[in-house]
Amino acid sequence: MNRFLSSATNRIDAKGRVSVPSVFRSVLAERNIQELYCFQDFVFPAISIGGLDLLDRFERQIAAEDPFSPEANQMSLLIHGGGVFMKLDAEGRLMVTDFIRDFTGITNEVTFVGRADHFQLWRPEEFQVRQSQAREGRRPVGGRSN
């Protein structure tokens, strides 16, 4: 398994740490990701987390633009100005910092959401609302409602 799939909600401990789900830690290990690149998502109130390959992908997009263009500068503001590096502790926990809390509104619990090549941290209630909205938009015509 080399993709981040599914979602799980974990409680933040008294020291501000949260355990990353074991299935996500397994993907990190398989992909040999030791330093986490974390950035404020461009669309959702979530923190996106991946490896250096994710940052490299964004930097290649910037490099393809004129370095003085508004697009390149805006992208740099998002991926560099809205990003940090983090590491898991020896027990597979992540510190829920102000960088995470301020952008997401996370307080006592974190929902981890798989997004294939990266995962996200969400405020649980916000994730439920957004996932329901996404599901509503994909309901088959004439399909039954739950």
Q: Which pLDDT band holds residue 110 (cuts at 50, 70, 90)?
A: very high
**What range defines the domain where residue 19 resides?**
7-137
Is residue 104 domain-resident?
A: yes
Query: 86 CB contacts (<8 Å, ≥6 apart)?
Result: 35, 36, 38, 49, 94, 95, 97
CA dist 81 and 140 (Å) reads 40
Give a yes or no: residue 51 inside a domain: yes
Q: Domain count for the chain, please give it.
A: 1
Does some domain include residue 96?
yes
In a domain, 145, yes or no: no
Task: Express each pLDDT in 127-146 by its tens digit.
Answer: 999 999 999 988 777 655 55
Q: Does some domain include residue 144?
A: no
Check: pTM over 0.75? Answer yes or no.
yes
Helix and strand element counts for the chain (H, E): 5, 8
CATH assignment at residue 42? 3.40.1550.20
- Asked if residue 73 is part of any domain, the answer here is yes
Q: 42 in a domain, yes or no? A: yes
